[in-house]
Amino acid sequence: MFKSESAVSPVIGIILMLGLTILSISSMLIYSVPTLDGLEDMAKAQKIEQAFTVFDSRTSKVALGESPIQTTYVSLMGGAINVNGDQDAYNESRIVIVTVTVNISDENYVDFMTGQNRYRWQSWEHYVGGSGFDEFNCSLGSIEYSMDDRIIAYEGGGVWSKYPTGSTIMISPPEFHYNGETLTLPLMKINGRSGVSGTGDVGVSISSNNMPLVLFPNTTMAVNRVNPLEADKVIIYIKSEYYDAWANYANSQTYTSATVDVANKTAIIELDVIPPMGTSTLTDAFKVGVLNESTTAPIYNFSFNFVAGGAQGLNPSNYDISASSGTKTLTYTLDKTAGLRLDVEYKDTAAGSEYIERWSNTASIPVIEDPETAMVDFLDDTYFMEYAPGNQNDDYAEPDFSWGPESSISLPPDIEIIDNNYQTSLYNLTQHYMKLLTMDGSVIFSIDGGPQDPVDYEQSTITLYYEGMPGAITYLHITKNELDAAVTV
């Protein structure tokens, strides 16, 4: 009887069941507790995001004069909230707007606009103070909630969220309103320095004297701060901890795009200004904005009325009107042989150095005497040009490289030039090449009349009308709104 083991099996079974239960519960706790903690942190973050979105709406009421003061209550839940509205914060949170209005042939303009020069924080400082460069800026500051490595902040009229990985997203859009023609930018400057941490509820108060400072238009500050804009470019630099989210917001809009200066935590938004159109006195340089590529014929008028400048008459030799954009170059050349003769050349080194399309006139443009004048219309649909490949030493591989399906080097219509006798109108050439030339941005045409330029520029005129690409800015309205912020327990 004392050697019997009949009661062992039930005991061992109960022990095994208890052990498996404990092991299962332990495993569940090991794997689920971090997940539950993560879900709890996410819920807390979402609650703060909602509170900051409400705060954003109430702050707009204060900034726009609807209310002198607004208070929003936020539950800290173990985090901290800080008002960053002092000089240290302003060094890292600010907006700078630079307008460029210098002569398009000016050395400073060319230097600043070349390559990537302008896409760096403080790159404008060397030029501002000289003729044509205007800068106005506003410190932003911020109100931030932080818990562990997660940050949720109000800055520049928007709400931003920064994750432990360092990436940021937009929760509520900033006060940046652009419809493709008018940019309205009320800049929100946070004043004050306070903070609190813990687990209770705190109030964040915003107040203002409701007297925004108009930065643009404002001719008292600078004579060229007028609407419609006289600037050639408007470049907006946004230095912020949330610069990548600012850039993503700009890129998500229909008419804006942004680049980033990662080293300086800066988003850069560049806006083109539609150059003046109409009839004006001829100069040795003029600008053409980006054409609407979706339109078959976006140019309505592109003509010159040349008046002779001396006794020799209107007798040009290789009178060049040319523009370049990246790898593309378009040149119109006039010379006088029983009237004015016109040649057109287009090349794009991106396709290859041998890819050049040349066209020669099939008739002369009449010159009226006493004084000698000539009307040259680059949209003349009765003036036909003949494809001319040049001399025998030229190697023109696929001379019709620009006439094809839409790509970085070609646009419709898709035609094939099979021999040197192929003809098309000057109207077709201008519409086609100008769309290609402005594909990447505005272009500057320069006139080279040679050492004995025969044109009287004060008497001569240029007429230019076209349909620009949607998104070119015309009007600018910028105000600075001072907001006093404080955290109260």
pLDDT tens-place string over residues 444-489: 899 999 888 999 999 999 999 999 877 778 899 999 999 999 998 8
Tell me if 98 sits within 8 A of 124, measured CB to CB. yes
Q: Give dist(CA 479, CA 240) in Å, integer.
A: 19
For the entire predicted model, the pTM comes to 0.74
CA distances from 387 to 98, 162, 286, 416, 432 (A): 45, 59, 27, 12, 15
Alpha helices in 77-203 (DSSP H): 87-92, 107-113
pLDDT digits (tens, 9 = 90+) for 112-121: 877 678 899 9
Q: Is the pLDDT of residue 36 over 50?
A: no
Tell me if 188 sits within 8 A of 480, measured CB to CB. no
Q: Is the pLDDT of residue 436 over 50?
A: yes
Which residues are bridge partners to 487 per DSSP?
Answer: 204
pLDDT category of residue 57 using cuts at 50, 70 and 90: very high
CA distances from 173 to 160, 299, 358, 377 (A): 9, 37, 50, 48
Tell me if 257 sits within 8 A of 251, measured CB to CB. yes
pLDDT for position 391: 47
Residue recorded with tokens 């790898």: 327
pLDDT category of residue 45 using cuts at 50, 70 and 90: confident
Output the average pLDDT for the chain: 87
pLDDT for position 196: 94
Alpha helices in 173-305 (DSSP H): 243-252
Strands 233-239 and 94-100: antiparallel
Q: Which of 348, 268, 324, 292 is nearest to 114 (CA)?
A: 324
Cα radius of gyration rounded to whole Å, the chain: 33
Burial class of residue 326 (count of CB atoms within 10 Å of its CB; 0-12, 13-18, 19+) = middle
Q: Which of 306, 301, 454, 302 is nearest to 368 (CA)?
A: 306
Q: Give dist(CA 269, CA 266) in Å, integer.
A: 10
Top pLDDT among 110 and 264 is at 264
Q: Residue 49 — φ and ψ, nearest 5°? A: -60, -45
Q: Is the pLDDT of residue 223 over 80?
A: yes
Task: Give the pair of three-digit tokens for residue 298.
Answer: 């976006």
**Residue 173, preceding peptide bond in cis (omega within 30° of 0):** no
Q: Is the pLDDT of residue 320 over 90?
A: yes
Strands 94-100 and 133-139: antiparallel
pLDDT for position 34: 54
pLDDT for position 392: 44
For the chain, the domains span 40-273+474-488, 278-466
